[in-house]
Amino acid sequence: MINTVVLTGRLTRDVDLRYTQSGAAVGTFTLAVDRRFTNSNGDREADFVNCVIWRKPAENLANFVHKGSLIGIEGRLQTRNYENKQGQRVYVTEVVVDNFTFLEPRQNGGQPSGNNAGNAAPQQNPFGTPDNNNFGGSNNNQNINKGSDNSADPFAGGDQIDISDDDLPF
């Protein structure tokens, strides 16, 4: 049997990070997921999906995303129940997150995006800026081509290449 859920959406609030009595971190959050279609007024509706994430991934998610952040999650659907103070049986359906992905870069020099960006303390981007990390950026091409002879490279001068449609393989 297969129980896999993959969602892309925005956080409706910051991740609520708590710890169990045994010390395990648990984060809960709600993900707003747009529907593919629009209603009769032309507005796009959204579903609000309750999610829970455990241990170190919960701490990482709580530290790096904030209200309004676009993330992708992968996990499984779980239904649990409990008895409330009035003696009624309450059923809760939620996604237990196994993996998550940040789907937008951090903005404003590492500060969280959203309405409370001015109230939060600035955070350091652990990966640096694109110009001083090894993951890409405008200066990386300069480092690759240092000391090489570009005279044989047809793309080096920025000139257009004369090629006909008959020479293309598609």
pLDDT digits (tens, 9 = 90+) for 105-121: 876 544 444 433 333 34
pTM confidence score: 0.59
Let me know whether 9 and 93 are in one domain.
Answer: yes
pLDDT in the model for residue 13: 93
Residue 145 has pLDDT above 70, yes or no: no
Q: Which of 90, 74, 71 is nearest to 82 (CA)?
A: 90
CATH label of the domain that carries residue 51: 2.40.50.140
Residue 157 lies in a domain: no
82: helix, coil or strand? strand
My answer on whether 97 and 112 are in the same domain is: no
Judgement on whether residues 67 and 120 belong to the same structural domain of the protein: no
Note the pLDDT of residue 79. Answer: 93
Phi and psi of 143, rounded to 5°? -70, -35
